[in-house]
Structure 1
Amino acid sequence: EIKKSNLTKKKETANQSIIYVQTFVEQQDNSIKDLLQTVEEQYRQLNQQHSQIKEIENQLRRTGIQESTENSLSSKPRAPRTTPSLHLNETKNVEHDDIPADCTIIYNRGEHTSGIYSIRPSNSQVFNVYCDVKSGSTWTLIQHRIDGSQNFNETWENYKHGFGRLDGEFWLGLEKIYSLVQQSNYILRIELEDWKDNKHYIEYSFHLGDHETNYTLHLVEIAGNVPNALPEHKDLMFSTWDHKAKGHFNCPERGWWCHDVCGENNLNGKYNKPKAKTKPERRRGICWKSQNGRLYSIKSTKMLIRPTDSENSE
């Protein structure tokens, strides 16, 4: 009878231990579930914040070149006008109708310092440009590559309207370039610096079509110290990875002019930093392949324009 009683007590003790362990496991399981729910909620919030940050970055990139036209027109304009990060001579307020049409007019009015100014070409709205002063004249900078800080694998819309920072890497925008060159005959100047710090340039007389022609470019070389790499006397249509002209191939990482195929010249290609080691990498990057076959791997580029008769512009 005593043994039976002891067995009963042991059984009750074991049952209590089992119940305790089960309760403990259930509590731990519930704690883990709560922790997982908390982690999932935090992960969801992080994803949401990441999406918001990307949207803000895209908005800033689309508007980074200039202040919005509404803001430019809502306040009394200044011409020339600078950004706080650049030093220029002090300027005075001018009437809205007196905003210059391009950098040459600004230069002829006595402003001989490179920097960011407000202009308003004929039949266009006010926007900002970088005027690059060189030995007795000034050029409007329409493209600048220097360090790879700006992504140039952009959409058609961004190439149309422009992106980047005028005091760094940027593309002015095909519509803005078109509004400038409709005012007069213009010269296109391309400046290249290779990875051995050799500097080259080439100049063209040119004609640029509107958006209905895919901003067709027609070139004739007139000067330079680097062999020409762009087809002359041909219609070169602008294309991007998400927009191709009729009869053209879609070219990855491309926002450039081409005749019928994806060529090896692209000053808006991927920035290879440091210099690309293999030929395929160089061809996908910023490169200039002359018609005699030499391939230049490029560290920095500038594309600039000015009127042919710049001294008499006003």
Structure 2
Amino acid sequence: MTTITIATILLLLAIGIVAVLAGCPKENAPIESCCCLGFNTSVFNKRKSGVYTMVNFCGVKCYDAEVYCDTINGGGGWLVVQRRQDGSVDFNRTWVEYEDGFGELTGEFWYGLRALHCLTGQGGWEMRMDVKLADSTKVFLHYKQFKIASAEDKYKITIGGFQGTTTDPMAGHNRMNFTTIDSDNDQRINGNCAVFSLGGWWFNNCWHAAPNSVYQRNSGFYINNQWVTFLLIEIKVRPFQCII
């Protein structure tokens, strides 16, 4: 952990956020959370976005996992759970594949529904999407509430508290179950939204958001009264107690 003064520690204790300083080791050492990365202040040792080994992942003692941390956007401290950037990975996957995750952390990937439930089931979490649209415009979507239910509840999404640089494309997806090509849990009466879009998501009937559909064809969002596709998207999560 970066050296800080006694006065700073007392101040952090007083406001109840010193816990996020734990697990902020020196360069190249494992971390306990992405929260300690990316804050350019005297308290934190700024480190680059990239792949890190996270110890005690999801609160499981002695279980380590590789994660990709975003240390820059929205104050940093984000654990990236999805990335599309070139269409090199097929997101038209089965239920089990979406549960377990697929792809590579340094390229395109989906981190997995099991991990999302495990993470967001521990206290309050927020979610952010950083998107570069097909016309190279950059936008972000930030949700102050984000939670994924268990497999028994079809990994239902709870999302709210929207802030961003566009209209909210996820408003109609709140409290929807996850749907894949082989597990139809959406609200569409005739057909499966994942089969139609060729990618899994928390579909309604069917969507205003489809970031996992065919890259630069079906993948995109309905924002500002039009459907737009993207060149790049990262979806990331962060616990409330992160210092920003």
Please tell me whether the aligned partners of residues 264 and 288 of structure 1 are also in contact (alpha carbons under 8 angstroms).
Answer: yes
Deviations 1:44-87 (A, max 9, x none): xxxxxxxxxxxxxxxxxxxxxxxxxxxxxxxxxxx999xxxxxx
Q: Which has the higher helix share?
A: 1
What is the TM-score of this pair, normalised by structure 1?
0.60
Unaligned ranges ≥5, structure 2: 1-22
Residue 245 (structure 1) aligned with residue 185 (structure 2): yes
CA drift of 1:106 comes to 5.5
**Following the alignment from structure 2 to structure 1, what is the Cα–Cα distance between the partners of residues 227 and 173?**
22
Do 1:144 and 1:300's aligned partners in 2 also have CA atoms closer than 8 Å?
Answer: yes
Task: Tell which has more relative contact order, 1 or 2 (C-alpha 8 A, sep 6+).
Answer: 2
Matched with 1:256 is 201
In structure 2, relative to structure 1, the CA distance for the partners of 1:126 and 1:80 (3 Å cut) is farther
Return the offset for 1:105: 4.3
Q: Which residue matches 1:37? A: none
Q: How does 1:154-193 map to 2 (within 5 A)?
A: 154-193=93-132
Count of aligned positions: 208
1:226 to 163, 166, 170: 166
1:80·1:118 contact (CA, 8 Å) conserved in 2?
no
Cα deviation digits, residues 123-146 of structure 1 (max 9, x gap) = 374221100101643211000000
- Post-superposition shift, 1:114? 1.1
In structure 1, what is the equivalent of residue 51 of structure 2? 116
Residue pair 1:202, 1:221 contacting (<8 A) in 2 also = no
Measured in 2, the distance between the counterparts of 1:222 and 1:147 equals: 27
Structure with more strand by fraction: 2
Counterpart of 2:35 in structure 1: which amino acid?
A: T
Task: Give the partner amino acid of 1:129.
Answer: V
**Aligned twin of 1:206:** 146
Alignment RMSD? 2.7
Tell me, what secondary structure is at the counterpart of 1:306? strand
4+ long deviations beyond 6 Å: none
Partner residue in 1 for 2:64? 126
User: 1:35 matched to which residue of 2?
Assistant: none
**Alpha-carbon distance in structure 2 between the residues aligned to 1:255 and 1:222:** 22
Q: Report if aligned partners of 1:203, 1:223 keep a CA contact under 8 Å in 2.
A: yes
TM (normalized to structure 2)? Answer: 0.76
**Equivalent position amino acid for 2:53 in 1:** S
